[in-house]
Amino acid sequence: MASQAQIRVLSSQVANKIAAGEVVERPASVLKELLENAVDAGATRIDVEIINGGRKLVAVSDNGRGMKRDDAILSIERHATSKIRDVDDIERVSTLGFRGEALAAISSVCRFILKTCAKGDDMGTEVLVTGGKVRDVRETGCPAGCTIEVRDLFFNVPARRKFLRSEKTELSHIKDTFIRLALARADISMTMKIDGRDAFTLAASDDCRDRLRDLYGAAYCNRLCPVEGVVGKARISGWVSVPGMSRSDRSEQFFFVNGRAAGAPVLGYCLKEAYRTLLPGNRHSSVFLFVELDPGQVDINVHPTKKEVRFRRPSEVRDMVINNIRQALSGDRPGKAEPVENEISELVGQQIKLEIDNLPRARIFKYPRLPMTPEPLAEKSQKEGAGISGSSSTMERQPAGNVPWSWCRVLGQVGDLYVLLEMEDGYAVMDPHAAHERVLFERFMAQILASEVDIQSLLMPETVELGPGDAERVRSNLDLFKSMGFGVSEFGLDTFMVDALPACLAGISPKALLIDVSADLERAGKHGGRERWCEESIAQSACKAAAKARDRLSLEEIERIVVDLAAAEMPYTCPHGRPTIIFTPFRELHKKFARE
């Protein structure tokens, strides 16, 4: 007796649900597919409506070409598309969509309504689909274009529905998807309503900078450097942030290849290489880059959701991107962004003269004039805050056991920046800025980790508007922020009111702090995030509060830094890993002078 066949062809409904698992990951995935279809239809206006984080409704209306009755019915069939005809077309795809899977996959996992009218027609067509089954096709009155309503997403796939995140989280993904398309097509007027409230109203413009200004504000745009260049038939344009304007994550790095929001491994390498020596390894730039090249030189069919592309000649793209970003950052182009004061990386890659008053050229004083070990950090911080103190402790203490000297004296300044110190066994060259960073870092950390945070109220409360992802992270951790000493509260949509900061972080941009802290909390969790935030944010705070290379320091202030550094737990490097002192023993000098 022959055995029963084990292989069978799946039904179209099952196949569509499987396809939906790749194409429709969450409500934001639905929005992405519908927006791309609207763009491909030639729309000049797109309106979006979201209810209940996309669970209840994702609706997209456009004024594009629209469809006739037969095309409307066929559009929800799998692999039905107007964008390619044969296999050769895949090699030169110029539209955002082309596979013909999106509407079939989406309609199989929701209650789906399609209303469309071709331009010039008197009546339109309405198609109703429930869980992949066509319920009705009828005539309807509607304007030219297309409106698609996706209701009750995953109502018939409960296993997928329960894996959706909270409404706020899904909403943040939806906003991010909307922003990416809005940046890619500034020539299209776009609006979004969330639960009946206007969230975005973006006018069409020929200049993408206007769209950037609408989304991020004029002050943000003024701190971006324009990038533009042409190499053969390829063109690059856009904006990149100055080195002092950085983030702890890559959420503001946008790449658009032939109008498509997509990434590629080579583009990430380009950014890393272009900003090498300009940014610390754990900081990331903000980037809005548009790469235009022959469609035949780009393979977009390498990812189910088309999030990644592949270049035929990646080396040419790499060289073009790196060279043009570097040229923009060097200031060779017009429209150079103004320098940003008090930012994390303001000193990186620069040669700056440090002027120190009263440094003697000869040994005319005896050192130390201050006790080798200052007051305990927690005790000292309550008295002095973050500044450099010229006062000395009256208590006699022994020097810390982990420093390479028991006494030292300041000899003078070399290289217009560094301080030369003589010690009992040799000499050392100290970077005052890096040394002061280490001192302040340990002082601030002692406060934070001991849960004895001094809170400083702001003279004027500051409103901070964040991107969707950043806002969701801050909103989810408001209680933790307050326990860390932040006075922060919601102020509507993605805006927050900040009226207090930890005293040790006073003077730092509340927006930069909220973004960095929330990103660290998400990566490491609330427990690990607190420690990670302490180390990273306090390190940045110490960098900003420390003596800058442009400051004029007296001899007493230099001595104070040396004394405080001697008491540090790790005096050899600043919080970013740069050396504070470089020690050379006398025996090395003896060898070089042939005395040994």
99 closest CA partner among 257, 303, 265? 303
Q: What pLDDT, on a 0 to 100 scale, did the predictor assign at position 176?
A: 92
Q: What pLDDT, on a 0 to 100 scale, did the predictor assign at position 180?
A: 93
492 shares a domain with 371: yes
Main-chain phi, psi angles of 532, to 5 degrees: -65, -45
| 79: pLDDT strictly greater than 60 | yes
407 shares a domain with 357: yes
Per-residue pLDDT band for 304 (boundaries 50, 70, 90) equals: low
Pairing relationship of beta strands 418-423 and 487-490 according to DSSP bridges: unpaired
Q: What's the pTM?
A: 0.64
Structural domains counted in the chain: 3
Per-residue pLDDT band for 384 (boundaries 50, 70, 90) equals: very low
Contact 276, 230 (CB under 8 A): no
| 12: pLDDT strictly greater than 70 | no
Per-residue pLDDT band for 521 (boundaries 50, 70, 90) equals: low
Which residue has better confidence, 214 or 263? 214
| CATH code for position 267 | 3.30.230.10
160 closest CA partner among 52, 57, 22? 22
**Percent of the chain predicted with pLDDT > 90:** 27
Average pLDDT of the chain, as a whole number: 77
Tokens representing 55? 């669970």
533 shares a domain with 421: yes
Which residue range forms the structural domain that includes residue 307? 222-330
Contact 568, 438 (CB under 8 A): yes
Q: What does the alpha-carbon distance between residue 271 and residue 273 come to, in Å, rounded to a whole number?
A: 5
576 shares a domain with 506: yes
Give the Cβ contact number of residue 383 at 10 Å.
9
| CATH code for position 426 | 3.30.1540.20
Helix segments in 185-217, DSSP class H: 208-216
| pLDDT (average), residues 387-397 | 35
Q: What pLDDT, on a 0 to 100 scale, did the predictor assign at position 511?
A: 78
24 closest CA partner among 126, 122, 117, 156? 156
Q: DSSP state, 53?
A: G
457 shares a domain with 523: yes
230 shares a domain with 160: no
Q: What does the alpha-carbon distance between residue 30 and residue 569 come to, in Å, rounded to a whole number?
A: 53
147 shares a domain with 255: no
**Coil, strand or helix at 356:** strand
| 342: pLDDT strictly greater than 60 | no
461 shares a domain with 365: yes
Q: Which residues contact 208 (CB under 8 A, 6 or more apart)?
A: 183, 186, 238, 288, 290
**Coil, strand or helix at 595:** coil
- Residue 5: inside a domain, yes or no? no
- Residue 171: inside a domain, yes or no? yes
Q: What does the alpha-carbon distance between residue 75 and residue 97 come to, in Å, rounded to a whole number?
A: 13
- Residue 320: inside a domain, yes or no? yes
Q: DSSP state, 553?
A: B
- Residue 158: inside a domain, yes or no? yes
